[in-house]
A = this chain, B = another copy of it.
């Protein structure tokens, strides 16, 4: 592995570069003190002692065309992760499903059903377009957390450790080379235990920031966290876990079935690792937050910059603005 080449490949990776559009869209909504939670995995709505967490995720049409059943499953998976990333408990989901054939409808629903059974979060309502010229599936999820325990993306501080928690016991999904599937074949009780790690960490206030590892992969997701936190990180590639059978570039671009990239005070790192391990996740300290606004891969004396936030943008959101939406 040559770090410079790997860093360049990750920087250019579609899963990261396509996030650019977010900035233009947020610019339109972020006015008049509506104070949205852009940059967070879920929006936060103040509700007394509790924070209501509202997130929406759509399935990439590329995935939908390749495997409708896996798309249906993933629509549940990604939404459950969005709530877990914030340290919340999921309450229910609603979906908007557009389909162009009965066969696709049945396959998508079969996948969604498998996801609901796996994660134990119900679909409580939704909307169907049975006659669209394309197939698309969007799901929104509502979760809840005690207000003072919510985990944000935007609150990492220089000096914090970076911890990666991920399930290494998985497979490259047969119909999607970029999915590291660890949940579909695994017992629901284990998967739910893994998801629950974030609630325990939140309620014990062990983390300074965190995100679920999503489409941009481990490094891209960390990059988003750094960008909204207004900090940088050194990632120690000698500590980074990787399945033996996969190349580095492939692995670091993957969407894992269960993965969280979080930060914590160094004095809490051992406890954080223990809590993840007790929840059946592999957990490793993989880096350190620094004040310089760049994400570097480091191995011994070798060093390569993936993102220099003075030059590159991921979401383009910059350090987080207000995080609360007080509408009620």
Q: Would you give the 0/1 interface string for A118-140, flagging 1 where the beta carbon is closer than 8 Å to chain B? A: 00011111111111111010101
| A124:B36 contact, CB within 8 angstroms | yes
A residues with a Cβ closer than 8 A to B are 18, 20-22, 24-25, 28-29, 34-38, 40, 42-45, 47, 52, 54-58, 60-61, 89, 91-92, 94-98, 105, 109-110, 112-113, 116, 121-134, 136, 138, 140, 142, 144, 325, 327-328
Q: How many copies does the complex hold?
A: 2
CA distance A118 to B22 in the complex (A): 23
Which 7 pairs from chain A and chain B are nearest by CB? A140-B140, A43-B125, A43-B124, A34-B122, A58-B96, A96-B138, A56-B94
| A54:B127 contact, CB within 8 angstroms | no
CA distance A24 to B106 in the complex (A): 9
Residue numbers in B under 8 Å from A122 (CB-CB)? 29, 34-36, 325, 327
| A327:B127 contact, CB within 8 angstroms | no
| A45:B133 contact, CB within 8 angstroms | no
User: If the complex has contacts A94-B56, A97-B25, A125-B54, are A134 and B136 also in contact, measured as CB distance less than 8 A?
Assistant: yes
Chain B residue with Cβ nearest A65: B133
Q: State how many angstroms separate the Cβ of A182 from the closest Cβ of chain B.
A: 23
| A25:B128 contact, CB within 8 angstroms | yes
Residue numbers in B under 8 Å from A327 (CB-CB)? 91-92, 121-122
Residue numbers in B under 8 Å from A89 (CB-CB)? 328
CA distance A52 to B110 in the complex (A): 27
| B54:A92 contact, CB within 8 angstroms | yes
Further contacts, 12 of them, CB under 8 A, given A25-B97, A36-B124: A18-B130, A20-B130, A25-B126, A29-B112, A43-B124, A52-B142, A56-B95, A57-B96, A58-B98, A58-B129, A96-B140, A142-B142
Partner of A37, one of B29, B91, B124, B127: B124
CA distance A57 to B96 in the complex (A): 6
